[in-house]
């Protein structure tokens, strides 16, 4: 509290059906020499709650009859509470907690808020980030041990079947970041090697190996070599066919487009193939792309990859290298993935997000997303649906134009 903060203050709270001019009219009723120390308002389903904290308590309270008459004339409910001092200073340990799900029940939110209180933290403000296709709420909290609260709420999220993210507050929440994503079953809906194997009549065999590798049951490099062998002899033209079959995850283009507008750098790193990943990254305006390269001889795939396999360790190395290249500390990185080969990358990042991931990944990631919309990652970063839609309205038309493209 600053040294010149008045000790005698009044909190005025107005509740009314929202309409233009209420804030202006209330302020005009106050003594002209009164200082406004705090001013907040929220509108929910057309109902306004407006709070004004002002000094000159004696003068304001002397006007109480006139203020109540004004409120009655405008069909407003007005409460005045005099006291001493400004708002108490916020405690250290600022953090943001985002909870999202297709539907958030009162019991669910009560359980989460109770867990926050039991941790010793306080909820200072709440705002809605989105209502479609999921409901997303952001809690601004103080007095939090971010690591401990994240651990506590990750267990609770699984029990409640919601997604919860806890991130440090302050400047760490704002500014430029590096977003790095896996590709297969994350940026896109498909597993590219399975699309390729379909042309060789080996899709089911390859899919079974892929599933075991993503669950962490097989060494990724060995499993990749085993699967790529099934592609031997396919004409290189099959790559063009597969590129045309790849389907973006819902919300993928929105996610990339929005974070690019915010000045983020975006990278994709994949245990798949650069022949597919490279053109896709270029089409979306993604800054960095790294993946395996298929060996070709005589216009046909040899069933081998060139160079070292992009495995879980290489994914983490790329994230660190791109962060250094972009002049960003590792704390300002966000990684998104679904498989066991993404675990090192998720652990190395400032925020590791498991997207519709295998159980082993959900258990170890900082937070999870279990709805099929990749753009819900934006809510975990504190970006609201209104912000996204306003930017889209002001910006150029997007080539990917489904509702959640």
C-beta pairs of 290-299 under 8 Å, 24+ apart in sequence: 290/314, 290/318, 291/183, 292/224, 294/228, 294/231, 294/239, 296/236, 299/235, 299/236
Burial of 326 (0-12, 13-18, 19+ CB in 10 A): middle
357: tokens are 């991931």
Bond preceding residue 114 cis, omega within 30 of 0:
no
Q: How far is CA 276 from the centre of its chain?
A: 26
User: Residue 134's closest CA among 113, 169, 162?
Assistant: 162
Q: Which residues contact 97 (CB under 8 A, 6 or more apart)?
A: 112, 116, 138, 139, 141, 149, 153, 164, 165, 166
| CB environment 77-102: b (16+ within 10 A), e (fewer) | ebebeeeeeeeeeeeebbbbbbbbbe
Spatial neighbors of 70 by CB under 8 A, at least 6 apart, are 25, 29, 76, 78
- Measured from the Cβ of residue 1, the count of other Cβ atoms closer than 10 Å reads 10
Query: H or E segment at 166?
Result: strand 163-168
Task: Give catalytic status of residue 182 as yes or no.
Answer: yes
Q: Which of 55, 184, 344, 366 is catalytic?
A: 184
- Which of 55, 182, 190, 375 is catalytic? The answer is 182
Provide the 3-class DSSP secondary structure of residue 305.
Answer: strand
C-alpha dist (Å) from residue 125 to 11, 64, 137 = 17, 29, 10
Token digits for 7? Answer: 């000790």
Active site residue 140: no
**Do β-strands 122-130 and 300-306 pair in parallel, antiparallel, or remain unpaired?**
unpaired
CA 172, CA 329: separation in Å to the nearest integer?
Answer: 11
Cα–Cα distance for residue pair 5/265, rounded to 1 Å: 43
- Give Cα separations from 164 to 8, 178, 229, 351, 366 (angstroms): 40, 21, 41, 12, 9
Residue 143: DSSP 8-state: S
Active site members: 182, 184
């Amino acid at each position: 509290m600053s040294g010149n903060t008045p000790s005698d203050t009044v909190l005025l709270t107005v509740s009314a059906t929202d309409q233009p001019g209420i804030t202006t009219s209330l302020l005009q009723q106050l003594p002209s020499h009164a200082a406004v120390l705090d001013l907040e308002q929220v509108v929910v389903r057309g109902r306004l709650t407006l709070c004004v904290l002002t000094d000159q308590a004696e003068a304001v309270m002397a006007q109480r009859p006139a203020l109540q008459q004004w409120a009655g004339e405008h069909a407003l409910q007005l409460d005045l509470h005099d006291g001493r001092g400004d708002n108490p200073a916020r405690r250290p340990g600022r953090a943001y907690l985002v909870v999202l799900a297709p539907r958030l029940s009162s019991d669910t939110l009560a359980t989460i808020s109770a867990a926050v209180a039991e941790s010793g933290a306080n909820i200072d403000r709440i705002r809605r980030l989105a209502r479609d296709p999921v409901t997303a709420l952001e809690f601004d909290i103080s007095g939090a041990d971010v690591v401990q609260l994240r651990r506590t709420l990750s267990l609770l999220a699984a029990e409640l079947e919601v997604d919860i993210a806890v991130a440090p507050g302050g400047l760490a929440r704002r500014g430029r970041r590096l977003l790095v994503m896996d590709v297969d079953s994350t940026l896109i809906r498909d597993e590219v090697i399975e699309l390729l194997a379909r042309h060789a009549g080996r899709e089911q065999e390859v899919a079974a190996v892929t599933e075991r590798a993503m669950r962490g049951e097989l060494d990724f490099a060995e499993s990749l070599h085993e699967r790529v062998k099934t592609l031997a002899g396919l004409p290189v033209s099959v790559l063009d066919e597969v590129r045309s079959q790849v389907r973006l995850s819902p919300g993928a283009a929105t996610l990339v487009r929005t974070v690019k507008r915010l000045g983020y750098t975006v990278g994709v790193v994949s245990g798949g193939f650069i022949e597919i990943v490279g053109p896709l990254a270029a089409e979306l305006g993604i800054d960095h792309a790294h993946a395996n390269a298929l060996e070709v001889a005589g216009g046909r795939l040899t069933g081998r990859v060139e160079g070292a396999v992009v495995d879980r360790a290489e994914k983490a190395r790329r994230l660190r290298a791109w962060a250094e290249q972009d002049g960003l500390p590792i704390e300002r990185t966000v990684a998104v993935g679904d498989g066991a080969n993404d675990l090192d990358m998720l652990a190395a990042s400032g925020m590791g997000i498991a997207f519709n991931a295998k159980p082993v990944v959900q258990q170890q990631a900082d937070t999870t997303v279990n709805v099929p919309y990749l753009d819900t990652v934006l809510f975990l970063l504190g970006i609201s649906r209104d912000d996204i839609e306003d930017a889209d309205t002001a910006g150029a038309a997007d080539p990917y134009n489904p509702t959640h493209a």
